[in-house]
Amino acid sequence: MTQQKNISFTLNGEKRSFTIAPDEKLVKLLRRSGCLGVKEGCDEGTCGACTVLIDGKAALSCITYAFLADGRDVRTIESLGTFEKPHRLQTALVEEGAVQCGYCIPGMILSAEALMKEIPEPTDEDIRVHMDGNFCRCTGYEKIWTAVRRVAAERAGKGVANA
Ligand code: FES
Ligand code: FES
């Protein structure tokens, strides 16, 4: 029988405890814990749909063992915006018409957040390079990147509310 393990970490600002199998992947743990905004795509680290933030850095939760989250700060799309009060990246994506099926969007947003934390005013090249692991099967890349550019410019210029 597989030995279970207890871990705890901060999930979307709340300290949580979990019992996991040693080989459970973080994406599975997050989804069974109600974070359905974390998407499963390729399940092998190539599409970016499962991107989350661990201690502020983008991480692929499908190839991250859940036990590695022990003691860390984990954020999913659920912590950024709500339906009633969306995050500025979410509204910018809608304004740009960048959301088609929407499957890639949570991962795109979290990657963009990590990028803007690291590089507050990213160039087009920075955006492309940093987000090149986030695939959009609907191929809306230009509009997605435009939305990220807009939010980065707003933040750099005026500190837009809710961004
Ligand atoms: S589901 Fe994790 S990278 Fe594709
Ligand atoms: S909007 Fe459909 S995969 Fe990106």
Regarding the beta carbon of 107 and ligand 1, being less than 6 Å apart is answered no
Strand ordering across the sheet containing 5-11 = 14-20, 5-11, 73-75, 51-54, 57-60
List strand residue ranges (DSSP E) for 2-160, in order: 5-11, 14-20, 51-54, 57-60, 73-75
Residues 150-161, mean pLDDT to the nearest whole number: 78
- Do 90 and 53 touch, CB atoms closer than 8 A? no
The whole-angstrom separation of Cα 159 and Cα 83 is 22
* Residue in 38, 42, 52 to alter for ligand 1 test, most ligand atoms within 8 A of Cβ: 42
The first and second tokens of residue 105, run together, are 């969007």
Residues 145-152, mean pLDDT to the nearest whole number: 95
pLDDT of residue 161: 43
Q: Please determine, for residue 148, whether its predicted confidence score (pLDDT) is greater than 60.
A: yes
Residue with tokens 């749909």: 49
Of the candidates 24, 5, 13, the one whose C-alpha atom is nearest the C-alpha of residue 64 is: 24
What is the three-class DSSP state of 51?
Answer: strand
End-to-end, the C-alpha distance of the chain in Å comes to: 47
The whole-angstrom separation of Cα 107 and Cα 115 is 12
What domains lie within the chain, and their CATH numbers? 5-79 (3.10.20.30), 88-157 (1.10.150.120)
Number of the ligand closest to the Cα of 52? 1
pLDDT of residue 1: 55
pLDDT tens figures, 33-67: 999 999 999 999 999 999 999 999 999 999 999 99
Question: What is the C-alpha R_g of the chain?
Answer: 16
* Residue in 136, 141, 142 to alter for ligand 2 test, most ligand atoms within 8 A of Cβ: 136
- Ligand 1 atom with the shortest distance to the CA of 46: 3
pLDDT tens figures, 86-134: 999 999 999 999 999 999 999 999 999 999 999 999 999 999 999 999 9
pLDDT of residue 158: 54
The first and second tokens of residue 159, run together, are 């500190």
Regarding the beta carbon of 97 and ligand 2, being less than 6 Å apart is answered no
- Ligand 1 atom with the shortest distance to the CA of 45: 3
Look at phi and psi of residue 35 and say left if phi exceeds 0, alpha if psi is from -120 to 50, else beta.
beta
